Amino acid sequence: MEELINICTYKEFKVATDREVLNQAEGFVRLGYLLRKARDTEILRDSGYPTVVAFAEGEYGLTETYVSRYIAINKRYSKDGYSPYLQERFQGYGMAKLAEMLTLSDEVVEALPPELSKTEIQEVKREIRKEQEITDLEVMLEEKEGENEGKSSLEKWLLVYIQENKEEWSRAKKSMPGSKGKEGEEEKEGEEEVKINWVMDFLAPTGIAAKMARIKGEGKFMLTIKGKYSPLELLNLRTNEKETYTLKECAELIESIRMQEGEEEKQKREQEGQKESQKENLAPVQETDEREQGAQAGERSESSVPDPVITDKKAKEPQSEKRQTIAEEEKGEERQMEVEDYPELLPEGYTPTAYIKCHDGSEVEEKEWREAKALIDKLYEDTAMENWNLEEVYRKATKLVIILEKLHKES
C-alpha cells in the first residue's frame, strides 16, 4: 500500500493501475472458482445454507445474478476452464470488459483487441445483435453488388466502409500518399511505411480498432486492428470465419479504390463538359426557335380568325392577269371600264377601295370586315370572363349581325 501513496509520475500511476485491474480480474476468476466449488461439492454441508446462492447472499449480499456471473467468468476465462487462474490472453481486460464479453462467441472474443474500452465492446455487441435479427434466408435473397464479382472480402468490406463514411474518406484522400513508386529499395521501403501509416491513421488512429461493415448477400464483417505490426483480421459475424491480411495489402486495395474513383470522377467531368458544350451550341438555335414560336403565338392570340388576303381589286391584280387583259385589249375585245383606268381624271389623294377575299372566293370591303372581326374577338373575350355582361354581349352581337348581313349583300 505504501507504494501507491508514493506514486508521483504518470508512468508509475499507469503501472500501478494496470496491476490492480489485473488483480481485480484474477480476483473475480478466483471468486468464481470458489463459488463453483461450493455449488459442485458438499463443502457447504455444515454451513447451514442450502445453496451457494443463499450462502453468497447471506454472507456477502450477492444476488443470484452476481453469483451466476462470477461462475460464468471463471468457466469462460480461467485456465483449463475450471481453475483459480486467469488465462494469460485475458490478463489486462478487467472485470467489466470480461463480463461484457461473456455473451460473445469465442471467435469474436479472440479477435477483439484487449485495449478496447467497455463502451467499444458494447458497440460490438449491438452490431452483432442487429445482424442476428436478419435471417439466413434474408441474406441469401439480398441482391449482391455486381461489381464485387472476383473481389476479396477485404476489398468488398473497404468499398462498403468507404461508402458509409464518405466525409472521413474525403478528408483522408487529401493526405493519401501518391501511387507512383520511387527508385531504390530503401526509398520503396520508406514509401511503403508511409502508406501503412496512412492506413492506420484512416482506420485506427489510436492504433487499435474494431470496425464494422455489412456486405450484401454475405452479412456483417468485423475488421480488427491490433497495432501497426500485427495482421488485420476480418471476421464474418454470421459464420465466424476469419481471414487475415497485411497492412500492405490493405494499403494497395485502398490505393486501387482511390484510383478507380479518380477515373470515374474524370469521366463524369468530361461528360458534364460535353453536355455543357452541346447546350451552348444549341442555345442560339433554341432562342431563335423560341422567338419564332413566340411571334407565331402572339399572332395567333391577336385574333382567333385568320387574316384574309387583302387585295385591291385592280392594284393587287396578278401580273399574269394584267398581261392577259392587255392582250385582250390589243385584240380589240370589249371589257367594262373602271374609273381607275383613268388616273388623270381622279381627284388628288384618291385611294382605291381595298377588298377582302373570303374563303368562298367572294370579296367584301376591308373596313367593314375589320370591324366585324374586331366585334368577334371582343365577343370571345367578353364571354370568356367568369361574370360576363349579357346586355353588352347582346349589343355587340346585334351590331355584328347587321355588319355581316351588309357584307353578305355586297358579296
Average pLDDT per 10 consecutive residues for the chain, totaling 411 residues: 72 76 81 94 92 94 93 93 91 84 93 92 96 93 80 94 92 76 49 89 93 94 94 95 95 91 82 76 60 57 47 46 50 47 51 54 66 81 75 82 77 61
Answer whether 121's CB lies under 8 Å from 209's CB.
no
What does the pLDDT read at residue 333?
Answer: 44
What does the pLDDT read at residue 309?
Answer: 46
Edge-first strand order for the sheet with 208-215 is: 208-215, 219-226, 232-236, 242-245
The helix (run of H) or strand (run of E) holding residue 219 is strand 219-226
CA 307 remoteness from chain centre = 56
- Burial class of residue 224 in the structure, from the number of CB atoms within 10 Å of its CB (0-12 exposed, 13-18 middle, 19+ buried): buried
The helix (run of H) or strand (run of E) holding residue 236 is strand 232-236
Those residues whose C-beta lies under 8 Å from the C-beta of residue 211, and which sit 6 or more positions away, are 161, 203, 204, 222, 223, 224, 225
What does the pLDDT read at residue 332?
Answer: 47
Number of H helices, E strands in the chain: 15, 7
What does the pLDDT read at residue 305?
Answer: 45
Amino acid (one-letter) located at 276 = E
> Which 3 state secondary structure label does DSSP give 342?
coil
Q: What is the pTM of this model?
A: 0.58
Distance CA 177, CA 197 (A): 10
What does the pLDDT read at residue 324?
Answer: 54
> Which 3 state secondary structure label does DSSP give 411?
coil
